[in-house]
Chains A and B, each alone.
Chain A
Amino acid sequence: MNALIAVILGIVTVYLTYTRYARRIDRDVIKSDPKRATPATLYMDGVDFMPTNRNILFGYHFKSIAAAGPIVGAIVAATLWGWLPAMLWLIGGVAFMGWVSDYSAIVLSVRNEGHSLSAVAHRLISPRTRTILFLFIFFYLLLVAGAFVGIMAQVMESQPRTHLGMILLVVMGLLLGQMLYRWRIGLIPATLLTVGVTLAAIMAGGASEGIFKGLNDAFNGLTGGAPIVTYFDPTLANFKGADAKIMPSLLFWAVAISLFCYAGSVLPIWRMAQPVVYVGFWITALAMLLGLGGAALGTIIKPELAQFQIPMFKGWNPQMGPAGVMPLWPMLFVTIACGAISGWHALFGSVGTARQIENEADMLPVGAGAMLAEFLLGLLALLAISVGSKGPPVAAFANGLGGFISVWGFPLQYAVSLAFAAFIVIVLVVTQLLFRVMRVTLTEWLGEIIPPLRNQHFSSFLSIALAILLVMTGTWIYLWQLFGAANQLMAALSLLLVTIWLVSVGKNWLYAGLPMILMYLTTVASVLVTAYNLYFNVYLPNLEAGRTLPAVGSGLMVLMALLLVFASLFIGIDGCRAFFKYLGKPASAARPAVAKG
C-alpha cells in the first residue's frame, strides 16, 4: 500500500458518497426546496440569522469542525489496530454516518425555525433531555480537555524544538487581535506579519532547542530527577504495562498550557482566543495542504517516503495483557471520532451554520461537503502515521507528515518541525476554546446552586484544575477513548433526534435511524469496556500499591463513564417513547413552506 492509492481511495469515497448517496437522500427524503424560505431569510437580524453565500459558509463550517480530533484519533487507532481497520472505519463511517449526522442536524434546525438541538429535543422528546445534555456536555469537555492537555504536555516536554514557535504563536495572536480591532490594520498585512513571524519561529526551533532542554533539566533537578507522581499504566511498554512517571518538567508544561488556556478563557474573545485560532489555522492549513499534495506526489518523486511502514492489521484484540480488553469493536469506533462521525459537529451545525443557510439547496454542500472534507484531513493523518514508522505515535505522525512536506523540496528537518508545530498548534488552539466553553457550561449548569461558579475566574480555574487532575492521574489512551465515546454518543443522540423528527413529519427515517442504532450500541458498549479497563487495570493496581492520586483520578474517570452511560440510557428511553408515539401518528410538518417572491 502506498499514499497515492490511499489518496485516490479517499477522493473516490468523497465523490461516490456525495453524488450517489447524499444527493439522493437530499432529493428523495428531505426534498430540499430552493424556494422554501430559510430561518436566515425569515428572521434575518444581521448577527445570528444572516443569509450567507454557500461557498463562504462551506469554508466557515469546515474550519469550525476540522481540527485536532481527526488527527489524534487516526494516530491512536492506527497504532492500536493497524492502518487497515482505521482506514475502513474512516471510509465507512463518513460514507454512511458522518455526513448524515452533520447534514441532518442542519436540516433539522433549518426546518424547525433555526432552533438548536436542545430546543428541538425539549419539544420532541422530553424537557429533561436538555438537563441531561448539560451533564453530557460538561463531562465531554472535561474529558477532551484532559486528553488534549495531556498529549500537549507530553509532546512539549519531549520536543523542546517546538517551544519557541508556540510562544511566538501566542504573542503573534495577541498582536493580531490588537492590529485588527484596535489599530484597524487590514487583515492581509496583519496576517502576513503574524503568520510569517510564527512560521519563522517554528523553523528556528532547532536553534533554541538547547535552551528549553536546559529548562526542562532545571525543573527535573528540583526533585533530584525523581518523579512527582508515579502510577501504573497498562497501556505503556507496548501494552505490557509499566509505571508512568510524571516529571516536574511535564507538570511545568501542563501548567504553562493551562495558564495560556486560562487567559484564552477569561479575556475577551477578540483579544486572544479568536486571533490565536486564526494564526494557528494558517500554520496547520499550510502543513496539511503541503502534506496532502506531497502524499500524492511522493509516490512518483520519492516512492520510499510514501510506502506504508506500520502493520496493516494487528488483530481483533491485539493488546491482551495488563491492558485488559481493547477489542476492535467497539473501541475502534470511538478512538476515531471526528473524521468518521462526530457529535460536536451536529451541535455546532444546528446553532452556528443552520442560521446562515440562505437556500435549502445549500444544506447538502455545506453540511455533507464539510464533513467529507474533514474526512480527507483524517485520512491524511492516517497516511502520515502509516508512512512514518519512527518513534512514538505523535513523533511518527510528524515524521510521516514532514516526509510528505519535504517532497516539495524543503529540508527534512524543517519539514518535520513544521509538522510537529502543526500538530501542537491545532491541539493548543482548540484546548483554550474548550476551557472557555467549560467555564460557560459550569456557570449555566450550576451557577444558580453554587454562586461562586458565576465568577469567570473561579469557574475557569476549577475547569483547569479538574483537567490537570485527569492528566496527572489518568491513563491517556483510556481518557481519549472516553472522550471519543462521549462525542459519538452525542452524535447518536443527534441522529436519534433527527430520526424522531423524520418520523414526526412522516418521512423515511432509516437513513438516520440505522446509523443511530449502531452508534448508540457501539458507544455505550465502549464506555462500559473503558470503565472495566480503568477499574480493573488502573484503579485497583494503583489502590493496592497505595498510590492515592492515581487511584482518585482513575476512579473519577470510572464515575464519569458510568454517568455517561446512565445519561444516554435516560435519553434513549425517552427517545424510544417519542419515536413510537410519532410512528403511530405523524404530526404535521413543523412549519409550512413559505414561497419566496
Chain B
Amino acid sequence: MIAPRRWQAVKDFFYGMTGYVFVRHAQEMKHEAEAIFLLVTLGDLAGVPIMPPIYSLRLLPHVAPEIVKWKRQLARRKDFWEKEEYDLHGI
C-alpha cells in the first residue's frame, strides 16, 4: 500500500509532465486577455492617457487585486528567449 503522501507526489509528478503545460498556457491566454482589458479600462494607472469612463470606477473593486501583477508585467521587458516559443519540451 502506497502512503497517501507518496501517492500524491506521484500524481503531482504525472500532472507536471502532462496537464500542467495546458494549465500554464490557459493562464497565459487569460492573462493576455486581462492585460488588454485592464489597459483599455484602467490604462491611466499605467500612464497610458485614456479618458476614464464611468465603468472604470465600477470595475475597479473587481480588478483591484490584479492591478499590482498587471503593472509588474507591463514594467518587465522580456528577453527574447524567455518567450513561449523557446520552450522546446525536451531536446
Residues of A whose CB lies within 8 Å of any CB of B are 43-48, 50, 53, 55-69, 116, 118-119, 137, 144, 180-181, 187, 191, 269-270, 274, 277-278, 281-282, 285, 338, 342, 344, 347-348, 351-352, 426, 429-430, 433-434, 436-437, 439-441, 444
Contacts and interface: CB of A to CB of B under 8 A. Distances in A.
Given A63-B16, A66-B90, A46 B27 contact: yes
B90 A67 contact: yes
15 contacts: A45-B72, A45-B73, A47-B28, A55-B13, A63-B89, A64-B90, A68-B91, A269-B85, A278-B21, A282-B18, A352-B87, A430-B90, A430-B91, A434-B91, A436-B85
A64 B18 contact: no
Interface range, B side: 35 or more
Contacts of A65: 90-91
B80 A444 contact: yes
B12 A118 contact: no
A48 B76 CA distance: 11
Interface of chain B, main secondary structure: helix
Given A56-B12, A57-B16, A269 B88 contact: no
B8 to A, nearest CB: 8
Given A119-B79, A274-B21, 6 more contacts: A45-B31, A55-B12, A58-B16, A181-B26, A187-B22, A269-B25
B17 interface: yes
Given A64-B87, A64-B90, A269-B84, A58 B69 contact: no
Nearest to B71: A45
Contacts of A440: 80, 83, 85-86
A180 to B, nearest CB: 6
A99 B24 CA distance: 26
A50 B26 CA distance: 14
A285 B17 CA distance: 10
Given A56-B12, A59-B20, A62-B17, A429 B28 contact: no
B25 A270 contact: yes
B9 interface: yes
B16 A59 contact: yes
A66 B26 CA distance: 23
Contacts of A285: 17
Contacts of A347: 81, 86
Contacts of B88: 64, 67, 344, 348, 430, 433-434, 437
Nearest to A366: B16
Contacts of B87: 64, 348, 352, 433
B16 A351 contact: no
Main SS of chain A's interface residues?
A: helix
Given A45-B69, A430-B91, A281 B18 contact: yes
A58 B11 CA distance: 12
B37 interface: no
A60 B21 contact: yes
B71 to A, nearest CB: 10
Contacts of A433: 87-89
A63 B28 contact: no
A40 B69 CA distance: 12
B42 to A, nearest CB: 17
A234 to B, nearest CB: 27
Nearest to B70: A45
Interface string B1-21: 000000011101111111111
B38 to A, nearest CB: 13
Contact of A63 (B27, B80, B83, B90): B90
Contacts of A437: 85-86, 88
A278 B18 contact: yes
A124 to B, nearest CB: 15
A56 B80 contact: no
A191 B20 CA distance: 14
Which 3 pairs of residues, A with B, have the shortest CB-CB distance?
A59-B16, A67-B90, A55-B12
Interface string B46-82: 0000000000000000000000010011000001111
B72 to A, nearest CB: 5
Q: Give the residue among A55, A59, A137 with the most B Cβ atoms within 10 A.
A: A59
A342 B85 contact: no
B83 A144 contact: no
A141 to B, nearest CB: 9
A437 B18 CA distance: 22
A472 B8 CA distance: 49
A425 to B, nearest CB: 12
Contacts of B17: 59-60, 62-63, 281, 285
A116 B69 CA distance: 20
Nearest to A347: B81
A120 to B, nearest CB: 11
B21 A67 contact: no
Contact of A67 (B9, B72, B89): B89
Contact of A55 (B16, B27, B85): B16
B91 A69 contact: yes
A2 to B, nearest CB: 29
B14 A59 contact: yes
